[in-house]
Amino acid sequence: MREQLLAYFDAFPPPLAVFLVAMLPIFELRGAIPAGYAMGMTNTYLIYALAVAGNFVPVIPIITLLGPAERFLRRWKFFDRFFDWLFKRTVSRSNLIKKYESLGLILFVAIPAPVTGAWTGAVAAYLFKLPLRMAVPCIILGILIAGVVVTLVSLGVVTLWH
């Protein structure tokens, strides 16, 4: 899958590709930072900044537009089932947020593991009705921490390859 993703984004300049990959659900900056190195980028700070910025882009639209989109799309059975699945899955994986609220949201986004990250954190912020003024800084801090972790791991892997 990594090769297919890199092949698709090969048409873009590497900095733009890093930014765009970071915007994607599932991949987010966990995929964008290693992709930056795989595409030959060497400036760690630039890769980090582009990945963090790209990962943040969908956060505010998700938190603010998910409600209206949900209400509109639930008219159709397919979307009704999709939202049921998405929300059930998000709630089942967000014990940290339920227990610790803002600190939990930071940790939830910061842990670079599958089904955590800015996209799921933004959905959880919507579901738990966290105010935007609280959710956004928590998600940003979580993205920044995740970026550091993924960068350090990626640098370790890059060093091993050389």
Instruction: Say what the pLDDT of residue 94 is.
Output: 86
Distance, CA of 57 to CA of 39 (rounded, Å): 22
Q: Which pLDDT does position 93 carry in this prediction?
A: 84
Residue 115 confidence (pLDDT): 79
Write down the domain spans for the chain: 2-55, 59-146
For residue 137, give Cα distances in angstroms to 36, 103, 144. 26, 11, 10
How much is the pLDDT for 158?
59
d(CA 138, CA 158): 30
| Predicted TM-score of the model (pTM) | 0.89
Does the CA dihedral 49-141-58-119 come out positive or negative? positive
Per-residue pLDDT 10s for the chain (162 aa) are 656 756 778 889 999 999 999 999 999 999 999 999 999 999 999 999 999 999 999 999 999 999 999 999 999 999 999 999 999 989 888 888 888 889 999 999 999 888 789 999 999 999 999 999 999 999 999 999 999 999 999 998 756 655
**How far apart (Å, rounded) are the C-alpha atoms in residues 36 and 162?**
16
pLDDT of residue 112: 85
